[in-house]
Structure 1
């Protein structure tokens, strides 16, 4: 393109552009004509002799570019230009409609491009010229209405709904509708406008079968959930391809606000089950959403959820046991039946996974299900007294060992005076680490025993006792490792003796793992 012409266009010097009639069809490297450039930069008008339908390397006409830039005056000039040239109205209409319906390589019409500018007057101008045309989806599956709704442009959505005379029910990406897009943008006005004009969209599902309410619940958009339910309460009972209603989706991601809103408007929706027979409580526990499960137990009026079985015969308690979660609200529920058998003839206690602290877990559930007697509490306190002595001794010994390090300290004057002599040995490093671990674990156990003494809630006693006992067990093991590594560090010059001490010390773990294994099975 002639440099002077290019500069004149860039500087918006329209009078100078008029002097280049003979070279107006020259192209830039991207195959833009002078009109393409004018559409992007010139604000006062375009020359009537320029071609309005020629495309650049991206398949864009000047109108595409002007619409994308949101330049109303240039768009109007491009539309009015043919009117000044054509002698007949039919001819003028034909040229303008051809220009309005042309798509670029992304299948975008000028109206698609205008959707990104949030300019209602520009959209109105384009739609008024061709209100009968059905603007199809672009290469990404987006219609103009979908693009406006996705961006939350309420005024643009209103203009489209008011001006277009063709059906607007075409689906967008993943078969989502404009109402899906409005809900996902979380804008009240846009959602309201689409609901008023296209109420049928509220029950339309996408590729997964998710309605707009499913998506509102998924993102915990409480106000959109309320808005949709106020418009049509029955949408709460619509299921997706997996049989999940909106409340199942909310439970699966822990959307507490959405759960409360759905239950308050549709209290009987807790009876809905998915294709696997799982109710909303099953779903919350399966997805490890403790707060959602507690919310459901608190707000759902039906007690059938507690003992309801899925297609495998598993109750919510079975799921709780299999995932090793702790939800007191379920365990302490007065209508909980712990004897329910699934299709494998197993109770919830039978399916607690191996290698967990099964004896403690089993007793814990039993204690919460049946209030502990005075004898039970007395036995726990007696065991606590002996455990406390062990934990205190370990804490004392490991604390002292931390200040009387094996090998002693450097007594010579200099920068290393007072430093441990064996700091460069790996065995010494291991000693310090495991001594610290043993000390912290035992102190944590002592702290839990202290909490037991000041917390008189019977149902919590065993909870503290179980974890304190675990910490004490692990601190014993860490202390033995600290002893072995510390001894090795000071006897490493006599390798045979050092190895013998290590072997003898590690024999401790034979009975340790034997009894621990029985406890964990």
Structure 2
């Protein structure tokens, strides 16, 4: 008796139970489906005893041959093109010819290391696959040059019937073999050169029916990681296949010790947007909520970072304590919400855990520090306008910096008006002895950078409007300007273009009284004078020194003064038009120059006056001034053209 027959006898002496492993898992196939219509009178062609006799004996002999998978003598034989083509076409005659010629079929390999079973599986020839496996079951575990078994190839191609056949055959074999032999006959855990099992390839190809068979075939295979540290369970979660994930977790047992590679499954469920899978994971393995991803973020922090409201809500419901779990960098989930400028999530976290506003990162920074440093406008506005959190504005980190210090350091102008809310905040100094204003002035670059200068301008404006520095000099300057405008417009009203009649019957009356341009001149002159006088009257109240009265006075006086300043050049334009209206070309040039000057005055003075208005957003005036800076070159070019024209005409004259 040779070694194979001895193995066969020992296998036949084992348990006689008919309830196989595959029946228990719902993957049972009738024996006819496994054996097919194979002619068992043929030889393997490599010296093995032909499979003959009744089917039960045939099955026992078939199982015995699995144990010969690592004992094939000799070297691999190169496959001929005729054989490669025949097997690829599913030609059974080709197979029969190889058997008749006593070709060492089990050792035939193509240029890529594929056996004939690999080729038959690649092209989905189920019946040929059955014939080959029945005669050469050892090929089921053979690997090609990529380290892939036929099961890998079947899973990669999504061939459900072939995978189903392999699963049933291995299940049948496992029911008749001892534990040690089962370990050697387990194609489900074998990996290719990339570390992928057949289940990895099935999920990667979105062949979920194939994946379901493989998941039921082996409970440990879904937990194995590939060379990138990705398990099949991880891929199933990423694909959002809740039924597949449930089955894997149900069979997994101790997931913490068995799962290989990346374990942040809850993060992947959030990324996939699957609340169902997230719910299953957190219910079955609640400790996974504290796992950190490759960037060191907890599950809650990751959900906040991608602004997945449903996932964040579920985590807060099932694990409120996750709010207090640090990320690897020492920050907390509420800090992440501030970084992404999501005031809704900040509010949601504070509602569940009000004391989370006091959580500090490694630099001693609270949530408002993070929002200010990140330029988070909505978060900063919410926290500073909330009476329960506005006191965070005076908080200082390890370097003594307040949120306002950090906003200035990063030139986040949009946050300044909210952060500079009190004199206490503005006067706080960091450990270097610097206030926010000092930092802005010291860090300001000599070359013009709009964002930095705009930030400094907003800070200075805020300091002034809060009444933290004397504005009497500023008020006096405006009074002087208004007085000058009133004086000049008053005098212009009696210096009418065209002069006065010196004879009766209209003695002393304007010569051009019926001229429409003179009427417009007088109207604009009167408006400019009256607005400047109103400005003077308003600013007189500001002299009383009451900070609130100063602010109110300026809010009213500045628009009036701006209107007076704009009316002056327009009045001058119509006055000149009255006098030289008959010289058309000169009138056209004067109009062009005046229009350009008018728009320039609006762009320059408009944002300054608008800043003083409490109802106008600083961002709006900022956009206004940005637009001017972008198109100021057009004004410069226009002025150059006008200058050139004048010089040209002067030369001609």
Task: Normalising by structure 2, report the TM-score.
Answer: 0.59
Quick check: which has more Rg, 1 or 2?
2
Tell me the residue number matched to 1:144. 232
What secondary structure does 2:414 align onto?
coil
Tell me the residue number matched to 2:121. 39
Instruction: Mark the CA change 1:264 to 1:394 in structure 2 (over 3 Å): closer, same or farther.
Output: farther
* C-alpha deviation, 1:33, in angstroms: 2.4
Matching of residue 384 in structure 1 with residue 562 in structure 2: yes
What secondary structure does 2:140 align onto?
coil
Tell me the residue number matched to 2:163. 75
Instruction: Mark the CA change 1:95 to 1:394 in structure 2 (over 3 Å): closer, same or farther.
Output: farther
Query: Residues 298-348 of structure 1, C-alpha deviation per residue, up to 9 Å, x if partnerless?
Result: 568333212111112121222333425133762574796322222222222
* C-alpha deviation, 1:10, in angstroms: 5.2
Instruction: Mark the CA change 1:317 to 1:332 in structure 2 (over 3 Å): closer, same or farther.
Output: closer
* C-alpha deviation, 1:2, in angstroms: 5.7
Tell me the residue number matched to 2:377. 290
* C-alpha deviation, 1:198, in angstroms: 1.1
The equivalences for 1:438-453 within 5 A come to 441-442=600-601, 444=603
Instruction: Mark the CA change 1:229 to 1:300 in structure 2 (over 3 Å): closer, same or farther.
Output: farther
Q: Which moved more, 1:364-373 or 1:260-269?
A: 364-373
Matching of residue 269 in structure 1 with residue 356 in structure 2: yes
Matching of residue 346 in structure 1 with residue 524 in structure 2: no
Matches of 1:165 and 1:113, distance apart in 2: 23
Tell me the residue number matched to 1:56. 144
* C-alpha deviation, 1:457, in angstroms: 5.1
Instruction: Mark the CA change 1:346 to 1:335 in structure 2 (over 3 Å): closer, same or farther.
Output: closer
Q: Which moved more, 1:108-117 or 1:356-365?
A: 356-365
Counterpart pick for 2:185 among 78, 96, 102: 96
What secondary structure does 1:52 align onto?
helix
* C-alpha deviation, 1:487, in angstroms: 3.4
What count of residue pairs does the alignment treat as equivalent?
A: 461
Query: Residues 223-276 of structure 1, C-alpha deviation per residue, up to 9 Å, x if partnerless?
Result: 111111111101011112322101111211223443232222222211111111
Counterpart pick for 2:251 among 163, 170, 178: 163
Tell me the residue number matched to 2:406. 319
Instruction: Mark the CA change 1:477 to 1:71 in structure 2 (over 3 Å): closer, same or farther.
Output: closer
Task: Normalising by structure 1, report the TM-score.
Answer: 0.73
Query: Residues 76-96 of structure 1, C-alpha deviation per residue, up to 9 Å, x if partnerless?
Result: 322444677899523873443
Tell me the residue number matched to 2:96. 19
Matches of 1:435 and 1:386, distance apart in 2: 16
Q: Is the 8 A contact 2:195 2:227 kept in 1?
A: yes
Q: Which moved more, 1:260-269 or 1:20-29?
A: 20-29
Matching of residue 154 in structure 1 with residue 242 in structure 2: yes
Matches of 1:62 and 1:318, distance apart in 2: 65
Tell me the residue number matched to 2:345. 258
Tell me the residue number matched to 1:508. none
Tell me the residue number matched to 1:487. 643
CA RMSD of aligned residues (A): 4.6
Instruction: Mark the CA change 1:72 to 1:112 in structure 2 (over 3 Å): closer, same or farther.
Output: same
Instruction: Mark the CA change 1:87 to 1:466 in structure 2 (over 3 Å): closer, same or farther.
Output: closer
Instruction: Mark the CA change 1:386 to 1:474 in structure 2 (over 3 Å): closer, same or farther.
Output: farther
What secondary structure does 2:166 align onto?
helix
Matches of 1:124 and 1:113, distance apart in 2: 13
Matches of 2:612 and 2:250, distance apart in 1: 68
Tell me the residue number matched to 1:516. none
Unaligned runs of 5+ in 2: 1-78, 446-452, 468-546, 575-583
* C-alpha deviation, 1:446, in angstroms: 7.7
Unaligned runs of 5+ in 1: 397-402, 409-431, 498-521
* C-alpha deviation, 1:150, in angstroms: 1.9
Query: Residues 49-102 of structure 1, C-alpha deviation per residue, up to 9 Å, x if partnerless?
Result: 3411221221111111112233332123224446778995238734432x2222
What secondary structure does 1:337 align onto?
helix
Tell me the residue number matched to 1:364. 462
Instruction: Mark the CA change 1:197 to 1:477 in structure 2 (over 3 Å): closer, same or farther.
Output: closer
Matches of 2:384 and 2:241, distance apart in 1: 40
* C-alpha deviation, 1:186, in angstroms: 2.0
Q: Is the 8 A contact 2:112 2:145 kept in 1?
A: yes
Matches of 2:248 and 2:623, distance apart in 1: 64
Q: Which moved more, 1:1-10 or 1:273-282?
A: 1-10
Tell me the residue number matched to 2:334. 247
* C-alpha deviation, 1:158, in angstroms: 0.8
Instruction: Mark the CA change 1:216 to 1:125 in structure 2 (over 3 Å): closer, same or farther.
Output: same
Matches of 2:625 and 2:298, distance apart in 1: 50
Q: Is the 8 A contact 2:570 2:594 kept in 1?
A: no
Q: Is the 8 A contact 2:219 2:248 kept in 1?
A: no
Instruction: Mark the CA change 1:139 to 1:437 in structure 2 (over 3 Å): closer, same or farther.
Output: farther
* C-alpha deviation, 1:474, in angstroms: 11
Q: Is the 8 A contact 1:213 1:236 kept in 2?
A: yes
Tell me the residue number matched to 1:429. none
Matching of residue 112 in structure 1 with residue 200 in structure 2: yes
Counterpart pick for 1:202 among 283, 289, 305: 289
* C-alpha deviation, 1:478, in angstroms: 7.4
